[in-house]
Amino acid sequence: MQPFPSLPTYSYFLILFFTTFLHHSHSHSQPNNFKTSQEHSQKQTHLNGPHQEYIEVSYPPPKHQPTPSCSHQILHHTFANTINTPPFSTPYSPPFNCPPPWTRVLLHFHAKTKDEQYDRIAAIWLAGVEILRTSTAQPPNSRIFWNVRKDITKYTSLLTKSDLDLTMMLENIVNAELTGVFHVTVTLLYYYKNTVRVPFNQSSDSISISKSKSRPGSRSLVNEVPDSRVLNELPADLIIPLSDDGKQGFWFRLEKEKDLKKRRIRIPRNTFKAVIELYVSFHGNDEFWYSNPPNSYITTNGLNTGRGNGAYREVYVTIDGEVVGSEIPFPVIFTGGINPLFWEPIVAIGAFNLPSYDIEITPFLGKILDGRRHVFGIGVTKGLSFWLVNANLHLWLDRESTIVRANRVIGHSPKTDVQRAEEFTGLNGEFQVIAGKDTMTTGWVLTSSGNITTVVMKGFTFSNVIKFKQNGTYKIVKQKFKFKKKVKVFDNKGEMISKFKVRRKYPLRVITVTEPYGLEDRYNLITNLSHGFNEKYEGKGFIHSISNVQESKGWINVKGHSVLSGRGSTKQNYSHVDKLSCYNRNVASDHGRIVSDNSNFICENAL
């Protein structure tokens, strides 16, 4: 994700961070990664000053984070020149003084850094199962730190096991020019049943531990879990990684369009429910896939860029060659992306905690319950180098029987309908992609407690328009994505025993104007960006909704990949609603500082 023009490209790893900038002409605007060099940061902070906090706005806010029953530091490591080295690994066992069962487990990630560096991608795996995908902030000219909190209760079946390998990969290059290293601490926070939400006394490094340790409660995951996809269900009994061997991290690297990464997996014959959780990030020529023009535009104009293939990507999962589900990823913008000054100190939505995507495959269980190994695959439609993808197979087991039977009744999953239109003359033109799909799959599973039928209905619409005007110096990208999914479960009498509904929307708009700046390889980029993530979960007795929008504007003066001067501002409105509470935060940054920050717990538009 981090281009660095002066690096040679002889090694496998360097290619990883090397992307060709569209240098054919300065009159052609293309989003890119940039690095703010120290002497040109927005701020004039002393290198020895206090650390400044970078944030990804999320829920709950720091002061309202619940006090854990106990905490357990599981990783403490400095990621320096990790290039071409294996990932960092350390043993994990649950804390002896805090035995399971817990009602909830949170992961607290803390990082700090100070010297010049690009944004970097990172992930944490437990026994090869990914539990966090994250990216780093770019240190401007000062000491910075950030914290990420993630509910990882859904990985409980692994967290209770001892002697597992906890692995973290943070691919970093340290050399004469890039000296930034990342100091990372990961702590797990365990909760017993009666934990209440009380203010969390947070200093940058330490985590307070509640003195009164309540007795371990039952496994019930009632609505006190504020941010969990599995509000109405218990965590899976078994999680199998659908990932690489771990020598370079457990993610698969997808380098080209037809790459399908495969893994043979045997699942227990008493599995009655299965969900594939996908983790995805895009880099290199696809870091800004949503703004890639078609190849015809690039070749006709003789542009020197690999960032093509049009602006549509779909990540899909196969079992024995059959597509069982797919996802359009949320366009996460890393901290060096588009205009790095936008992301000081509020980072883009998802940059510190990339979303994962659940694909319900219970209706397909009939294919894989025969006790044999089956080939699971992951690919990216139209994907260019490179994507880092892997998945976790969450399985729920019928403890009362050793074998359950299952079969698919309906399997209506057509190919995605993708329509493309293009029209251009020279560097001016307009490109459109419209895509959509509706699928419905139904399958039954004969368990010890009866014959259960699962119906999964899923649909999405996608549209992307890219326009180039003024000889390509003006570029607008508008993308819309709407997704809905309903999962209903019936018993043998046809009575509904559970249901939930998810809706998501990811609107995105980027306007970029490139202005020549006299000198040979310098130019100004003026950008307006608007970006949103909206999600609503509804089920029996639970509800959870997030509305999150960012608007950024600013300019940068660029030479190569370095920002020489500029200014950026970001406004963000975040709201979180669940059965227990509402939370709203409106925050704005300008010139590297928070200029307004208002939050409340008022339910204005209660669901």
Residues lying near ligand NAG in the complex (CB under 6 A) are found at 201, 203, 405, 444, 446, 451, 453, 470-471, 511, 513, 526, 528, 549, 551, 553, 571, 573, 586
Which residues are CB-contacts of 418 (< 8 A; sequence separation ≥ 6)?
312, 433, 434, 435
- Residue 71 burial (10 A CB sphere; 0-12, 13-18, 19+): buried
Shortest reach from residue 444's CB to ligand NAG, in Å: 4
The helix (H) or strand (E) run that includes residue 15 is helix 12-16
CA–CA separation, 438 and 457 (whole Å): 7
Shortest reach from residue 573's CB to ligand NAG, in Å: 4
| Nearest to ligand NAG of 451, 545 (CB atom) | 451
Which of 435, 439, 503, 501 shows the shortest CA–CA distance to 463? 435
CA–CA separation, 393 and 361 (whole Å): 10
| Nearest to ligand NAG of 168, 332 (CB atom) | 332
CA–CA separation, 88 and 519 (whole Å): 44
Shortest reach from residue 19's CB to ligand NAG, in Å: 24
Shortest reach from residue 412's CB to ligand NAG, in Å: 16
| Nearest to ligand NAG of 463, 528 (CB atom) | 528
| Nearest to ligand NAG of 371, 426 (CB atom) | 426
List the structure tokens of 77: 């490591």
DSSP 320-371: TTEEEEEEPPP----TTBS-GGGGSSBPPTTSSS--EEEEE-GGGHHHH-SS
N residues, the chain:
607
Give strand pairing partners of 526: 513, 555
Shortest reach from residue 601's CB to ligand NAG, in Å: 16
| Nearest to ligand NAG of 93, 528 (CB atom) | 528
| Nearest to ligand NAG of 293, 363 (CB atom) | 363
CA–CA separation, 179 and 379 (whole Å): 35
CB 499 within 8 A of CB 472: no
Shortest reach from residue 446's CB to ligand NAG, in Å: 5
Shortest reach from residue 597's CB to ligand NAG, in Å: 13
| Nearest to ligand NAG of 374, 469 (CB atom) | 469
| Nearest to ligand NAG of 21, 474 (CB atom) | 474
Which of 387, 354, 397, 359 shows the shortest CA–CA distance to 131? 354
| Nearest to ligand NAG of 520, 604 (CB atom) | 604
Shortest reach from residue 598's CB to ligand NAG, in Å: 10
Shortest reach from residue 206's CB to ligand NAG, in Å: 7
Q: Strands 522-539 and 496-505, how do they pair?
A: antiparallel
